[in-house]
Structure 1
Amino acid sequence: MKTLRLLTLLLLAAAAIAALVLWRDPWLLVRAEFARQRIDAGLSRAQVDAAGHHWVYVQRDADAPDAPVIVMVHGFTGSKENWYPLAKALGGRYRLLIPDLPGWGESERKPGVAYGFPEQAANIAAFIHAVSPNKPVILLGHSMGGGIAAVAAARYPQQIARVGLLDAAGVRFKDNTFGLDVLAGKNPFAVEDDVTLQRYIDTVFFDATAKPWLPWPASAALIHKRRADAGFEQAVLDRIGRGAENLMPGEEASRIQQPVLLLWCRQDAVIDASALDLYAQRIPQANKVLLDGCGHMSLVERPREVAEAVVKLAGPP
């Protein structure tokens, strides 16, 4: 009986300590889940200085030392963690390098510095030079990262052997609610409370089974972070969504000579699937892939299908 009471007291004490830790650092749950996914995908953390910024990225060596190198670029409000499901699906075929872009995630953000399409394309070129100096890479970009990848592939072809544009920004796609809100000066991705957090998730995901579960206090931590980033998000969106450079990726795309993958989901409520054909008109050598039953987060909602398309882009080993 005494042993049972002691065990109960120990469990209560442990629960109290856990509650205190989470109260002081609610982001701990999010970091722990990200770490679990990273380890499950066989990735390890790394850091590098490039383009005047300190970068945090994850990496994984390939099974074969001469395997292709893939660099993955996340989208607006995204981070390196968005790519973990695809990284896992790709297995050990490639050396993977997945950074947080400057200004986002764990990488350095500098006040007064522009983080639009041309600046981030130059940043990515510098990152590639730092982490794969002697070997051109396969560059994958999602959403805003797709626009960055298009600009980078056109301007820095010596460093980029092949390019994959997934649900990429940068062309005037068919009007939808998201696009019209952006053109009207709003940030439809803004998160201020539980309601707008759920709206954000529902906008980027179509497949309900792929939507992340965010219990409290993880949800509270994410809301707090997104509130803190609101000014930065608005400044970036003003440039890439409705500024003079918002169609730069599509304009630069006509100069891309490398093999290209264009991949969209039919139910994308952010970058409408009409963007696929608009990019294809500018990149006639591109292979087009349109997936069904998924939304803007193709790399999370359909990682196996995206992996199959990436393997075809990469070509034979």
Structure 2
Amino acid sequence: MKRTFSTLCLSAMLLWTGVTAVSLSVLPRTSFAAPALNFQNILQQERTWAGLHTKKLKVQDITWTYSEGGSSAKPTLLLIHGLSGTRDNWNRMARYLTPYYHVVIPDLPVHGETSVPENFDLSIPNLTEKIRRFVEAGQFDHQLHIAGHSMGGAIAMLYTAQYPINTHSLLLIDSAGVFKSANTPYLKDPALLKDLVISKTGDFDKLIHLATASAPFIPNEIKVEQEKMMISQSKNTQKMVDQLVLMSKTYTPDSFALAARSIDVPTLIIWGKQDKIINVEVAQELKSLFKNAQPPILLEGVGHMPILEAEQLTVQPYLEFLKTK
């Protein structure tokens, strides 16, 4: 009964402070002639470099697009991106994971290339339930480890709480939630998240500077195409922000804490110390809520996007963590 209550609490309460996980993926840090390649070719080259292949899977009314790499005989890592991001946010990390693990990275509904019906329910509980159906249909639950960045961390936490027997570990990177120690504007007033939606030319540059401690170089040809893609998805992104704002008005840090304490799988927390969207104090608060969490790893000079700003500093402790699971 205690497990059932905790699970229901989490599915109702968890983490309604979503944040933007802007897709900044570019090719490995080598020179290339950007004008000679279109945006999709560049992304495909990056996936190949990371040992990933693009696949599709229809489950009920969702046609999932996802990246998959590594041997399916090995433990599975399910990596979940954040609000307005895509599976390609994880490519730099995946390069170091596919030699040792079976890596699966879906585009969330209304993100990237995953397609859903009109008026799809974009609430975190529904997204989590749909991820579970995706895992079952793809038979990806072999020794499953789950990781989430930003809003993807909210989904990963909820998934872990609802399916603890099938989840071997949890990785949270600058994760969304409802926190007491929130000192950033976007946690104090989630309505400000509306300002982060990429809806017009120029918004992408603003978001890069907000989401990273030191904005990475992105060739202009790539940046223009990335911005166009995000503008085309802005209507659905706005719908997700509306859901997050609505729920943040309903639930409190205390109810979040009560729910999060039901999670007892081994947990690793990684945070950028210069995160301007979800302040670094949250990492220690999260650690105190979980029954089996290691001390948080805080990355100096890194903002909200460790998976892109400092992928090696992020993946190395994760690999060490996974060795013991």
The one of 100, 107, 110 aligned to 1:103: 110
Alignment of structure 1 residues 114-263 onto 2, 5 Å: 114-132=121-139, 135-172=142-179, 173-180=181-188, 182-184=189-191, 186-208=193-215, 211-216=216-221, 218-243=222-247, 244=250, 251-263=258-270
Return the structure number with greater relative CO, CA threshold 8 A, min gap 6.
2
8 Å CA contact retained: 2:210, 2:276:
yes
Alignment partners' CA distance in 1, 2:121 and 2:232: 18
Alignment partners' CA distance in 2, 1:261 and 1:188: 30
State the SS of the aligned residue for 1:119: helix
- Deviation of residue 164 (structure 1)? 0.6
Alignment partners' CA distance in 1, 2:121 and 2:217: 31
- Deviation of residue 107 (structure 1)? 0.4
Query: What does residue 92 of structure 1 align with?
Result: 99
TM (norm. structure 1) is: 0.82
Alignment partners' CA distance in 1, 2:113 and 2:304: 23
Which runs of 5 or more structure 1 residues have no equivalent in the other structure? Answer: 1-17, 23-27
**296-305 vs 148-157, greater mean Cα deviation:** 296-305
Query: What does residue 304 of structure 1 align with?
Result: 312
- Deviation of residue 187 (structure 1)? 1.5
TM (norm. structure 2) is: 0.80
The one of 258, 267, 274 aligned to 1:267: 274
Query: What does residue 22 of structure 2 align with?
Result: none
Per-residue CA deviation, residues 196-221 of structure 1 (Å, 9 max, x unaligned), is 2111111111133xx251414x4443
- Deviation of residue 257 (structure 1)? 1.6
Which runs of 5 or more structure 2 residues have no equivalent in the other structure? Answer: 1-33
8 Å CA contact retained: 2:146, 2:156:
yes
Say whether 1:80 aligns with 2:87: yes
State the SS of the aligned residue for 2:229: helix
- Deviation of residue 109 (structure 1)? 2.6
Per-residue CA deviation, residues 42-83 of structure 1 (Å, 9 max, x unaligned), is 111111123531101011123xx6422101000001000000
Alignment partners' CA distance in 1, 2:106 and 2:252: 23
Alignment of structure 1 residues 275-286 onto 2, 5 Å: 275-286=282-293
8 Å CA contact retained: 2:186, 2:192:
no
Query: What does residue 67 of structure 1 align with?
Result: 74
**295-304 vs 219-228, greater mean Cα deviation:** 219-228
The one-letter amino acid paired with 1:178 is Y
- Aligned CA distance change for structure 1 residues 268 and 51 (closer, same or farther; 3 Å): farther
**278-287 vs 289-298, greater mean Cα deviation:** 278-287
Structure number with bigger Rg: 1
Task: Give the length in aligned residue pairs.
Answer: 287
Alignment partners' CA distance in 2, 1:34 and 1:152: 28
Alignment partners' CA distance in 1, 2:261 and 2:95: 32
